[in-house]
A and B are shown apart, each in its own frame.
Chain A
Amino acid sequence: MSQVREHTMDVRPHGAGVFDVARIREDFPILKHWVNGKPLVYLDNAATSQKPQVVIDAMNHYYLEENSNIHRGVHFLSDKATQSYEQARTDIQQWMNASSTKEIIFTRGTTESINLVASSYGRTHVRPGDVVVISAMEHHSNIVPWQMLCEEKDATLRVIPMDDNGDLLIDEYRKLLDERVKIVSLTHVSNALGTVNPIKEMIAMAHTYGIPVLIDGAQAIPHLRVNVRDLDCDFYAFSGHKMFGPTGVGILFGKANLLDAMPPYQGGGDMIKSVTFEKTIYNDLPNKFEAGTPNIAGGVGLGATIGYLRSIDMESLAAYEHALLEYAEEVLSGIRGLRIIGNGRQRAGVVSFVLENVHPHDIGTILDDDGIAIRTGHHCAQPVMQRFGIPATARASFALYNTKEEVDLLAAGIHKAIGVFS
């Protein structure tokens, strides 16, 4: 059931520099590893990406030279650590074009960022009979927090449907919006299908009703340049580890006026100005949302990640990634019995597929034998699997260090899996 796929995504012009993937690969030490006697082919980037040496070095440097708690001490090391951590916040703010560092909240990752908004904004604004809107292609982390909120508040969850290609139905979305909707929470790029949603347009549509919009950017941030002021999103959530940074650290961008009006998410140290047993005065933004000692090394590592991404010409990278994805789709769709799930108008980073007579889990095991890492299963998006009537898919997901040669190895591995079960 192979099929010819249409490519309607704009082909971007090459930037001044030609993207040198061989040089990029040198930056990622783990790519030199061998797995099961074969050079590692890492195609599970949508689960987590690999880390460049500069990020590993920055975290090592922090622990070796600066380790101390932040925002507290008057001593030399505490000052150094605070500076490094806050510099990372500034780097992130500038990189995503937020208005101020007040709008950049460090979290544990996308999941915590979404939970923060559902818990703090959601609990104060959603009342019985109100509505929360999400889409049919959300990751569980952008479903469950809202379900929990709706259950608690006796509110309703409305879901924007998608078509068979994996594109959201914008006309249906328009019909879901009314004055009872208190927030829209939407993924930028689908982790299971690779669809890039037209979020700028969808944000503007929600804003005509005065509805704030949260964007789950976990899968977008490694591939697309995100400008929160241009998008005019109210919240933008992402994880460090999917964008070549460390695990356990992520960001919630929120517009300052919204964050200011929101109650704290967790209580503890660092989020207060003063505490007595009678009353606590909360700290200003962004610290109000950062209770307890944070993942300092992670924050510093994320800052270094931004520095690394800034060193890459984003236009030539986008052209390279686009060509690689197109190549992967072309090669894989030529394999007899292989069906690609997700043919959205615009896609990034992900090729999800099923194979006739071979279960995704078996494909994964057979590819692993050749050192090829892919993800198999429901990708924490069970409703997406249900929508397409499949229990699971095999998913190859790409990053800036992947090559056409690796796509060819993937295809050879798939042929091998077909051979085992023929």
Chain B
Amino acid sequence: MSALRELYQEVILDHNKSPRNFRRMDDADRKIEGYNPLCGDHYTLYLKLEGDVITDISFEGAGCAISKASTSVMSAALKGKTKAEAEALFEKFHNLVTGETGGMNELESLGKLAAFSGVSEFPARVKCATLAWHTMRAALESQEKSVSTE
């Protein structure tokens, strides 16, 4: 049960049950869909940008607990961040869920995102955790098409 408890940490269960920034945004600067055909996760991500800074972020859609919580935690973490900061955070997060995290300092700098550390024990679920981030990156690069993790 312990690997499972590591995967479904309180933060993840909480964000799955009550996702933050879970709403449509009609005046978004960027709107993009993320889709994981493996498990049918499907989200729409909305971003508001001022220059290089993400001033607002929201999402709607449905999927597994990992993907939904990941999108929710990401949305909270990225508000107020610059594009470069968002990209750097994605890299750290990616390292975390693939089990390549560089020690405690990096883990601490991730804040609530660290709750996804258990994902690395479940390689099949890495895609669930990173879908939101790939979608966010595509939105920032302003690729208008939908993003798939397949």
Hey, which bits of chain A sit against chain B, CB under 8 A? 358-362, 365-366, 369, 376-378, 385, 391-392, 420-421
Do the beta carbons of A421 and B7 come within 8 Å of each other?
no
Contact A365 B122 (CB under 8 A): yes
Of the candidates A358, A366, A385, the one whose C-beta lies within 8 Å of that of B40 is A385
Provide the B64-93 mask, 1 if CB < 8 A to any CB of A, else 0: 111000000000000000000000000000
27 examples of A-B residue contacts, CB within 8 angstroms: A358-B65, A359-B39, A359-B63, A359-B64, A359-B65, A361-B39, A361-B63, A361-B64, A361-B66, A361-B125, A361-B128, A362-B8, A362-B65, A362-B66, A365-B7, A365-B125, A377-B39, A377-B40, A378-B37, A385-B40, A391-B42, A391-B62, A392-B40, A420-B4, A420-B8, A421-B13, A421-B17
A391 with B8: in contact, given A369-B3, A376-B39, A377-B39 (CB under 8 Å)? Answer: no
CB distance from B40 to the nearest CB of A (A): 3
Query: How far is B40's CA from A360's CA once the two chains are assembled, in angstroms?
Result: 10
* Nearest-Cβ distance from residue B123 to partner chain A, whole angstroms: 11
Nearest chain B CB to A390 CB, angstrom units: 8
Q: Are A392 and B39 in contact (CB under 8 A)?
A: yes
Contact of A377 among B13, B38, B42 (CB under 8 A): B38
B39 touches A420 (CB 8 A): no
Separation in Å of the B99 CB from the closest CB of chain A?
A: 17
Q: Which residue of B lies closest to A385 (CB)?
A: B40
> Which residues from B are CB-within-8-Å of A420?
4, 8, 13
Q: In the complex, what residues of A have CB within 8 A of residue B38's CB?
A: 377
**In the A-B complex, the 5 residue pairs with the closest CB atoms:** A391-B40, A359-B64, A361-B64, A361-B39, A392-B40
A359–B124 Cα distance when bound, in Å, is 15
Given known contacts A365-B4, A391-B63, A421-B13, is B39 in contact with A360 (CB within 8 Å)?
yes
Is B1 interfacial (CB 8 A cutoff)?
yes
A350 to chain B, nearest CB (A): 18
Q: In whole Å, how far is B27's beta carbon from the nearest beta carbon of chain A?
A: 28
Residue numbers in A under 8 Å from B37 (CB-CB): 378
